[in-house]
Amino acid sequence: MKILVPVKRVVDFNVKVRVKADHTGVETANVKMSMNPFDEIAVEEAVRLKEQGAASEIVAVSIGVAQCQETIRTALAMGADRGILIETRVETQPLAVAKLLKALVERESPGLVILGKQAIDDDCNQTGQMLAALLGWAQGTFISKAKIGDGKAEVVREVDGGLESLVLKMPAVLTADLRLNEPRYASLPNIMKAKKKPIETLTPEALGVDVTPRIATLKVEEPPKRKAGGKVAGVAELVDKLKNEAKVI
- What's the whole-model pTM score? 0.85
Task: Give the model's pLDDT for residue 157.
Answer: 94
CATH of domain 2-244: 3.40.50.620
Going by pLDDT thresholds of 50, 70 and 90, the confidence category of residue 24 is confident
Three-class HEC string of the chain: CEEEEECCEEECCCCCCCECCCCCCECCCCCCEEECHHHHHHHHHHHHHHHCCCCCEEEEEEEECCCHHHHHHHHHHHCCCEEEEEECCCCCCHHHHHHHHHHHHHHHCCCEEEEECCCCCCCCCCHHHHHHHHHCCEEEEEEEEEEEECCEEEEEEEECCEEEEEEEECCEEEEECHHHCCCCCCCHHHHHHHCCCCEEEECCCCCCCCCCCCCCCCCCCCCCCCCCCCCCCCHHHHHHHHHHCCCCC
Span 156-170, pLDDT tens digits: 999 988 999 999 999
Span 125-180, pLDDT tens digits: 999 999 999 999 999 999 999 999 888 999 999 998 899 999 999 999 999 999 99
The backbone torsions φ and ψ at residue 114, rounded to the nearest 5 degrees and listed phi first, read -120, 125
Return the C-alpha torsion angle 219, 225, 226, 228, nearest 10: -150
What is the residue extent of each domain of the chain? 2-244
Span 86-122, pLDDT tens digits: 999 998 999 999 999 999 999 999 999 999 999 999 8
**Residue 182 CA, distance from chain mean position:** 15
